[in-house]
């Protein structure tokens, strides 16, 4: 039977992004958005336990965390090979794991298709910038590229609060402090409060999971810090609604006012298949201008989509306009564009008018 390192090497040779170890099924891997079997041999409970224990040894981590809680997140660095973001969990009485392969270095933003209008967010000095999208759609990579641009271009103190740490940074023009939740600090709330006493210029909050974290982040953004974070939402409208809904109803109007001042930009992204089978990112970009600010404050968030669609000169772009651009340039098929569109009927009319058919 293959060791975990052998599974990792073989999966990477096949271009895998994720590896699945679950009893009752062969070891499998994800490439693009399709899951393939690495071999025909079903994983038995004892074998899955051995592989999970190997992951903990590589991470120099105690297995008792998994045994006590039933699931555990951590990262592994495999010298001269890669980094892994690992989630181990129990299922049907056996141990299981999903391993996300993370590059050692920060990828080149142009090579992976991040546009300059997204990278330009590195120029912001203060306020809240959110990168949103479903899990596995490249949010962490986009944020890593933006942080690296900041690191390369200006002097400051960058603090990252992550669960777990994914990309590793070298100090260049900036000083970077990377803190892992559960290892270097207790939780996001404690870490975020503490970071405000560490003379930060930029704070990356890996995920905003509760209203207390959001509240501290908004206050930090209002007081001159650049706050970067993620949410598992698709679209600026859904993102703003989600933030407000985190809070009790009696606080929501006050939150709308504060959010309208603190929020600067929402990036929403999806990874979609190109015509040659590779996954490429597609983005919606919303900057908070005076119109958007008033809509947030006055609880008219539903009107924001129309502002995004009409504000191309301000650097905004809707998800459907980005899909339209990729389709008309032959980067993706019409079918792919419609599959990932927010308003497929309207996009189909535009594409058929332009492309014919």
Which domains, ranges and CATH numbers included, belong to the chain? 4-102 (3.30.450.90), 116-317 (3.40.50.300)
Task: Quote the pLDDT of residue 80.
Answer: 87
Are 3 and 76 in contact by the 8 Å Cβ rule? The answer is no
Q: What's the mean per-residue pLDDT of the chain? A: 95
Task: Quote the pLDDT of residue 356.
Answer: 67
Are 257 and 297 in contact by the 8 Å Cβ rule? The answer is yes
6 burial level (CB within 10 Å; 0-12, 13-18, 19+): exposed
Task: Quote the pLDDT of residue 56.
Answer: 97
The dihedral of CA 324, 326, 327, 328: what is its sign? positive
Cis peptide before 141 (omega within 30 of 0): no
Are 39 and 25 in contact by the 8 Å Cβ rule? The answer is no
Task: Quote the pLDDT of residue 209.
Answer: 87
* Weakly modelled stretches of the chain, pLDDT under 70: 356-357
pTM of the model: 0.89
- Taking each helix axis as running N to C, give the angle between helix 319-328 and helix 344-355, from 0 to 180 degrees, rounded to the nearest 10: 30
């Amino acid at each position: 039977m293959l060791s975990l390192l052998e599974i990792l090497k073989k999966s990477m040779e096949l271009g895998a992004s994720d590896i699945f170890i679950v009893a009752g099924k062969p070891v499998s891997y994800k490439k693009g958005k399709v899951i393939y079997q690495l071999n025909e041999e079903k994983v038995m409970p004892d074998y899955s336990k051995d592989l999970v224990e190997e992951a903990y040894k590589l991470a120099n981590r105690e297995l008792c965390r998994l045994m006590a809680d039933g699931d555990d997140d951590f990262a592994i660095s495999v010298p001269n090979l890669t980094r892994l973001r690992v989630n181990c969990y129990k299922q049907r009485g056996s141990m299981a794991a999903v391993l996300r392969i993370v590059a050692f270095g920060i990828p080149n933003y142009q090579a992976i298709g991040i546009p300059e209008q997204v990278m330009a967010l590195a120029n912001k000095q203060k306020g809240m910038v959110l990168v949103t999208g479903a899990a596995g759609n490249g949010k962490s990579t986009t944020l890593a590229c933006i942080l690296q641009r900041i690191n390369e271009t200006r002097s400051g103190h960058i603090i990252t609060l992550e669960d777990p740490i994914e990309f590793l940074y070298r100090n260049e023009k900036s000083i970077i402090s990377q803190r892992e939740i559960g290892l270097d600090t207790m939780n996001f709330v404690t870490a975020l409060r503490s970071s405000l006493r560490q003379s930060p210029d930029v704070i990356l909050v890996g995920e905003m999971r509760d209203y207390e974290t959001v509240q501290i982040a908004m206050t930090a953004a209002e007081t001159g810090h650049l706050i970067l974070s993620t949410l598992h939402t698709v679209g600026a409208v859904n993102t703003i609604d989600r933030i407000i809904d985190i809070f009790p109803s009696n606080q929501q109007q006050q939150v709308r006012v504060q959010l309208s001042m603190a929020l600067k930009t929402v990036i929403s992204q999806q990874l979609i298949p190109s015509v040659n089978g590779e996954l490429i990112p597609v983005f919606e970009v919303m900057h908070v201008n005076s119109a958007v600010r008033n809509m947030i404050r006055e609880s008219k968030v539903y009107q924001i989509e129309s502002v995004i669609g009409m504000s191309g000169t301000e650097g905004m772009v809707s998800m459907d306009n980005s899909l339209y651009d990729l389709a008309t340039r032959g980067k993706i098929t019409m079918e792919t564009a419609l599959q990932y569109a927010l308003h497929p009927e309207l996009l189909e009319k535009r594409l058929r008018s332009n492309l014919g058919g």
